[in-house]
Amino acid sequence: MSRIICIIGNKGGTGKTTLSHMLCQGLGLLGQRSACILTDTSREPLSPDGRRYVTADARTPEALHKVVSKLRTMNGWIGVIDGGGNRAEVDRTLNGLADIVLLPFRDSHEDLRTVLHDLEAFPHAYALPSQWPTNAWARDAADRSVAQMLGAHRDRLLHPVASLSASKLLLQKTIPDGLPSNVGNACRALARQVMEVLEIGDSAGEAPRSEAQAEAPAPPPPSVLPEGYASTAHH
């Protein structure tokens, strides 16, 4: 069956659109068929040419219903809905459509306060640190802020997506013929952890984890919060 992933949240500027395209690109690199679905009325649709996924324009309620209904009939597909920011009512609608909800947030106390509210509003959602610092000192400070403010939701925190300037290439109207390898690696890493939450095997070579493997401790990310950071729970 198909799956629907929604990337939402009340805070704007957290990288929802970039993450939507990164996730779809990563899914494509892992052999999954996916569609990146635009709902943000402030943005224009992007060409699917050169991408490893299709794009869909769902900026009206009617178009969204049509796209989601079609996806639900397409076995094995994954729809990634870019929710936009500051649209609480739309977020509630998308939450009702989703198999999994991702709530991106950046390294700021305003973002942390907003994502904390969203985690409480959407009890089955996962928080996703976005555009995370790569400098060791800045990363450590950011991780400590997360531990302090979001520690109660530790089991719903995914591995951070590091700040990567080349990821903006995915948001060009038509992407370049070749993307830097670090972009592909970041896209695959994001896709793999979302697939793990959804318990989807890797079509590009990784089988679904066995029950024994699922119970084994997951390897930690490069830098982790005290007592662990990323969730190993399944959806």
Tell me the CATH number at 151: 3.40.50.300
**Structural element, H or E, at residue 84:** none
* DSSP β-bridge partners for residue 145: none
CA separation for the pair 46, 25 (Å, rounded): 13
Whether residue 15 contacts residue 105, with contact meaning beta carbons closer than 8 Å, is answered with no
Q: Is residue 224 a part of any domain in this protein?
A: no
Q: Is residue 68 a part of any domain in this protein?
A: yes
CA nearest neighbour of 12 among 108, 79, 148, 133: 108
State both tokens at 114: 């907003």
Q: Is residue 101 a part of any domain in this protein?
A: yes
CA separation for the pair 43, 56 (Å, rounded): 12
What is residue 217's predicted lDDT score, i.e. its pLDDT?
Answer: 39
What is residue 1's predicted lDDT score, i.e. its pLDDT?
Answer: 74
207-219 exposure pattern, b = at least 16 Cβ within 10 A, e = fewer: eeeeeeeeeeebe
Q: Is residue 228 a part of any domain in this protein?
A: no
Average pLDDT per block of 10 residues along the chain, 235 residues long? 94 94 97 96 92 96 96 95 89 95 97 96 96 95 95 95 96 92 96 94 54 39 41 46
What is residue 178's predicted lDDT score, i.e. its pLDDT?
Answer: 87
State both tokens at 180: 């830097």
What is residue 170's predicted lDDT score, i.e. its pLDDT?
Answer: 97
CA separation for the pair 146, 131 (Å, rounded): 14
Q: Is residue 7 a part of any domain in this protein?
A: yes
What is residue 214's predicted lDDT score, i.e. its pLDDT?
Answer: 37
Q: What is the DSSP letter of 30?
A: T
What is residue 93's predicted lDDT score, i.e. its pLDDT?
Answer: 95
CA separation for the pair 60, 66 (Å, rounded): 10
Range of the domain at 19: 3-215
Q: Is residue 230 a part of any domain in this protein?
A: no
Domain count for the chain, please give it.
1
